[in-house]
Amino acid sequence: MKKLIFVTGGVCSSLGKGVTASSIGALMEARGLSVRMMKIDPYLNVDAGTMSPYQHGEVYVTDDGAETDLDLGNYARFTNAPITRANSITTGQVYDEVIRKEREGRYLGRTVQVVPHVTDAIKARVLAVADSPDVDLTIVEIGGTVGDMESIPFLEAARQLIHELGRQNAVSVHVTLVPTVSGGELKTKPTQHSVKELQEVGIQPDALVLRSGEPMDEAIRRKISAFTNIDFEGVISAHDVADTIYEIPLVFHDQGLDVFLLRRMGVESRHADLRAWKDVVRRFREPKRRVRIAVVGKYMELSDSYKSVWEALHHGGIANEAAVDLVRVDSGLLEKEGADLAAVLGDADGILVPGGFGHRGIDGMVAAARYARENGIPYFGICLGMQIMAIEWARNVLGWADANSGEFDRETPHAVVSLLEEQVDVKNYGGTMRLGAGRSALREGTAIRAAYGAAEISERHRHRYEFANAFRPQMEGAGLVIAALTPDGGLVEALEWPAHPWSVGVQFHPEFKSRPVAAHPLFRAFVEAAASRKG
């Protein structure tokens, strides 16, 4: 029988349900199980594509072009589970499906209700993934907090599946908070109330993951066990870790969470092979050198806006046994009159410009790219960061002071970055970009070719604007290197500066495919170049 684990959260948001679900997935894979991960988001948006990075954090893109919640990025970093649009469920998707079926008359004139029609649609989506023949275990994270109005249909669907499949085949893991009040006392009452709310919707959690600043002693865990009707072995301390979130699977394993869940589900497995995770933690704790990377971007107020970029940089550090010190630079600050770029960027061993949309901060990014080019600082441009390379080259090498992207200046005669032809008249911006996996042919003798060690690669895209082919002759004539193209030669996929220690700008998003146990080739090479410059 296929197995399901539902991960829910209580007391407040941002407790780490995604990392908890991912860590459980990592442990189950370490024991030889084939795992799939799913995220349920209870918002009415069909996907995360039109949400502001300030409100929702980054948009994680899958190979098949789905724009999803950033927690799917955690799943991809912690596990080998394939991530597609089927692994992301939103209220908007479910209600859209139910309403379309009603309009098509597929409910045979019946009154359409949340139960059973909406809950049946949710269950069908979960089981479509869980019932795949090559899947042993599916972990389903239900977003939001128990008690939220938006989460009720998803909790009801989970309750029904637990009842229908049996508690040995569908188990519940609840993540909750044990806060510390003045005097350092841990308070268990919020957790007790959270479990009670979950019980009131018909779900008795099998395991509790307790978030706290410090490890919880046995007495606290036994008290919570007694008040929540949960076995003591299933009450897990998820305290803050000192060094890296990649330690969390080891923290859970040391407390026996994987053994407890497997026993609860009646699953036999091999001994957990956690050597790769232990090596990641060791490299993170015991770096042989340090590098300082300045990330010049638009959305610095919310760290989750560039979540995959931060993590991929650390992966590059792990691969090079180097600690990566991140300097977050708001590109808008570099546009102010009298801005001292040397004071901000002078001690950086590498400069990275990530993706983004809209005009704000663009000139600051151009200034940062120029500083990196003229001072021989390793530069990595991602999506918009590659387009910034093109704009900077056109302005400062070719002398086209008005050079820009058509996104930011529709009137410029030197739109060196231009809109995709098929997007010119688009009015509905949901899911209209160049999205998902696309292949690139890499030019011999380039830094990108050396990093990948391959002639052709596949990476994920999320953009509307491209390097303008109309200006390719002038740009290349002035020395700019077209380092990668689509296999048909039609679109520019990567740029490099000539006679520069290391400079790669890519139109795609390599950060989405980086893992702590397998750093992405470009991030590994970028951090290596930064470390080499430092000496």
Q: Cite the active site residues.
A: 383, 509, 511
Cβ atoms 526, 502 nearer than 8 A: yes
**DSSP one-letter string for 202-265:** T---SEEEEEESSPPPHHHHHHHHHHHT--GGGEEEEEPPSS-GGGHHHHHHHTTHHHHHHHHH
**What is the chain's percent helix, strand, coil content, to nearest 5?**
40, 20, 35
**Spatial distance between the Cα atoms of 356 and 440, rounded to a whole number of angstroms:** 21
Q: Cα separation of 294 and 271, whole Å?
A: 42
CB 136 within 8 A of CB 34: yes
What is the torsion angle, in degrees rounded to the nearest 10, for the CA atoms of residue 485, residue 491, residue 493 and residue 498?
70
**Does residue 61 contact residue 509 with C-beta atoms inside 8 Å?**
yes
Distance separating alpha carbons of residues 448 and 206, to the nearest angstrom = 48
Q: Quick check: 225 and 219 in contact, CB under 8 A?
A: no
CA gap 528, 522 in Å, rounded: 10
Token pair recorded at residue 281? 């933690």
Check residue 506 and give left, alpha or beta (phi > 0: left; psi -120 to 50: alpha).
Answer: beta
The CA-atom distances, in angstroms, between 281 and each of 215, 257, 516 are: 19, 19, 9
Q: How far is CA 230 from CA 223, 290, 448, in A?
A: 10, 45, 53
Which residues in 354-433 belong to E strands, given as ranges? 379-382, 404-405, 415-419
